[in-house]
Amino acid sequence: MKKTIPIFFSSDDNYLPYLAVSIRSLIENASPDYCYRIHILNNGLNAERLSLILSMEQENVEIVSVDVTHVIEPIAERLNLRDYYTVSIYFRLFIASMFPQYHKAIYLDADIAVNGDISALYQIALGQRILGVVSDDIIASHRDFRRYSEEALGIPYRRYFNSGVLLMNLDRFRMEDIERKFVYLLQTYHFETVCPDQDYLNVLCRDKVLYLDRGWNKMSIDGDYSGMPNLVHYNMFYKPWQYKNIVYQEYFWQYAEMTAFYDELRETQKKFGLKNKLAHVKANRVLHRNARRICTLPDNFNRVLNEGRKDLDAMRYEVPHEA
């Protein structure tokens, strides 16, 4: 029997067209030597539009929709959401407990183009590390974010990783109780964040991750990568369905044309006008301002957990929901 590679995405209705492109790109580069089981984590999706994605299944690629409402609902009110963030960004934190049958898995954001066979990522040995990750180019790109990583989170900015691509050691994730520690911090401290789920993962998995080649999560912020990256991440405001002349946009449109959403995506780009662009400028300024402000708070991650010498592993905590 062929080895099965479990892959997870999370999405809401708005992101289904981009998810379709991600899955199409993954399928186009998949090896016939493996079976790929793709899980779409969600809390309710439009059935007709979802069916367009599920129909992309082929002999060695299975696509299933997984409703996680029952898991996320008990803590939904405490989740830190703002701007374009939705509850779906937190779904990745519950993969280990929801899928005890898996020892290892891949998580991908829906705004990614897969240019190489994803099985090569899965084969990377993690040892006792919780995650395989890539450091975040956007955090490293500006002093406000670099300062935020170091002063608000207590993490050297070059070691702050992006959570849009995760090679997950699920056994270690469970052993380290990452999910329960996340819930504990969420209900106890209500930390303000710049990148909600990502900040928590960086804090909880600090010094327990394997840093991978940037080609496994190359952001479209610039083209400073030799050769073709395996995964292109159209993160933050660098999205080809909004702006023209985005770095690595050719990969996105190559796969988009193979989906049922191509015309819709082209129309989305066409309608993305000055008002939308000005809103992005404003959102970016707010993001920088919040990063600077959180650095000064007496109850940020760094001051509570590091300077306050709080040991997460020694803390007693309660789980407010059934995992």
Query: Rounded to whole angstroms, what are the CA distances from 10 to 43, 187, 224?
Result: 9, 23, 28
The model's pLDDT over 177-213, given as tens digits with 9 standing for 90+, comes to: 999 998 888 878 888 999 888 999 999 999 999 999 9
Q: Is residue 320 part of a domain?
A: no
Domain membership of residue 68 as a residue range? 3-314
CB 169 within 8 A of CB 131: yes
| Beta sheet of 218-219, edge-to-edge order | 112-114, 231-233, 218-219
CB 117 within 8 A of CB 32: no
Q: Tell me the three state secondary structure of residue 242.
A: coil
Q: Is residue 319 part of a domain?
A: no
Give the pLDDT of residue 138: 94
Pairing of strands 34-42, 3-10: parallel
- For residue 130, the domain's CATH number is 3.90.550.10
Give the pLDDT of residue 171: 97
- Which residues of the chain are under the pLDDT cut of 50? 81-84, 319-323
Own/partner long-range contacts of 210-213 (Cβ < 8 Å, ≥24 apart): 210/124, 210/126, 210/127, 210/129, 210/131, 210/132, 210/133, 210/167, 211/133, 211/134, 211/135, 211/159, 211/161, 212/121, 212/124, 212/132, 212/133, 212/134, 212/167, 213/134
Query: Rounded to whole angstroms, what are the CA distances from 60 to 25, 27, 94, 205?
Result: 15, 9, 26, 33
Q: Tell me the three state secondary structure of residue 54.
A: helix
Query: What's the structural domain count of the chain?
Result: 1
Q: Tally Cβ neighbours within 10 Å of residue 226.
A: 7
Give the pLDDT of residue 196: 83
266-292 exposure pattern, b = at least 16 Cβ within 10 A, e = fewer = eeebeebeeeeeeebeeeeeebbebbe
Give the pLDDT of residue 320: 46
